[in-house]
Amino acid sequence: MNANRRELKAVLTMGETLMVEFKSDTKPLPDRELVAAVVALANTEGGELLLGVKDDGIVTGVHPNHRDVSGLVALIANRTNPSLAVRVEVLDIDSKQILRVQVPKTRSIVSTSEGVLLRRRLLASGKPEAVPFYPHEFVQRQSAMGLTDPSATPLTSLTSDVLNPLERQRVREAVRRYGGDASLLPLVQKAGYARQTGFDPIQQEQMVLSYIEKHGRIKRAEVWELCRITRDQAYQLLWQLKEQGKIKQMAGAQTLAYAPGANICAHLCATFVPDA
């Protein structure tokens, strides 16, 4: 037994998979069903269609109507949109002939000439099936193939002020930790601290630092009460001051050390006490 026959025997023994489809051709198989099966493979991962094999792997042989290899290639190309180029070869096994239709994974979405869109999926049992390919699934497939990036879609009506402060922090940390796009930093550093309060970010920073200098410590609740901002915004403000080195949490006692500018010689110590 040559390598091709051994490979074919292994495929028949393994059964149908996401990339392998068996089709019996004793009646023969209607052209519409044959083309639909090819489309489903092309819209998933590509693969091969073995024509003349029952679902259980029993070889029945290809019908005389489908033994014209070049004619089958032309049929599939004419019945798909955009035209799909497949490779077809005749294989002899168990004294019978079957056709192996090799289907490429397409970059574009393919339908039948009648507008039927299908893809393949695996059931919980591991058995594959062809199901409708819905429009809302197109973007997911194109994204998986690297053809489009949904996250790069511009949102013209969105302003940076509506971004959650905690999400700003996560983006900033991700950019720094994983070497992301540094052009995002101005966006996440931009004040998101509730401008409607009447205090701009610089005023809020000075108010917090002045409070620490006077009282030696500050709680997050005192920050949002002092600056009239939300709990999350208070956390973001304290986090930014810590990033700038103006306050620092010390080990053991949740103590923050506030380092003034170069024009002040002494360091002031402050304690940041989290909420109970």
User: Looking at the predicted structure, is the pLDDT value of residue 216 above 50?
Assistant: yes
With 0-12 / 13-18 / 19 or more C-beta atoms within 10 angstroms meaning exposed / middle / buried, residue 107 is: exposed
Distance (Å, whole) CA 155 – CA 147: 19
Pairing of strands 255-258, 249-250: antiparallel
**Higher-pLDDT residue of 157, 120:** 120
Kindly tell me if the per-residue pLDDT of 151 is higher than 70: no
Give residues with Cβ within 8 angstroms of 144, minimum separation 6: none
Residue 276 has pLDDT above 80, yes or no: no
**pLDDT band per the 50, 70, 90 thresholds, residue 213:** confident
Is the peptide bond preceding residue 28 cis, with omega within 30 degrees of 0? yes
Q: Mean pLDDT over all residues of the chain? A: 79
Kindly list the distances between the CA atom of residue 157 and the CA atoms of 53, 153, 165, 187, in Å, as whole numbers in the listed order.
56, 12, 19, 16
pTM: 0.57
d(CA 47, CA 44): 9
- Residue-level pLDDT at 162: 65
Look at residue 154 and tell me whether its pLDDT is greater than 80.
no
Give the confidence band of 110 by pLDDT, cuts at 50, 70, 90: very high
Residue 94 confidence (pLDDT): 82
Confidence check: pLDDT of 237 > 90: no
Order of strands, sheet of 47-51, starting from the edge strand that comes earlier in the sequence = 20-23, 47-51, 96-103, 87-93
pLDDT of residue 210: 82
Q: pLDDT tens-digit profile of 20-54?
A: 999 999 989 999 999 999 999 999 999 999 999 99
Q: Which fold has domain 3-144?
A: 3.30.950
Give the model's pLDDT for residue 238: 82
- Can you name the CATH fold of 195-273? Arc Repressor Mutant, subunit A (1.10.10)
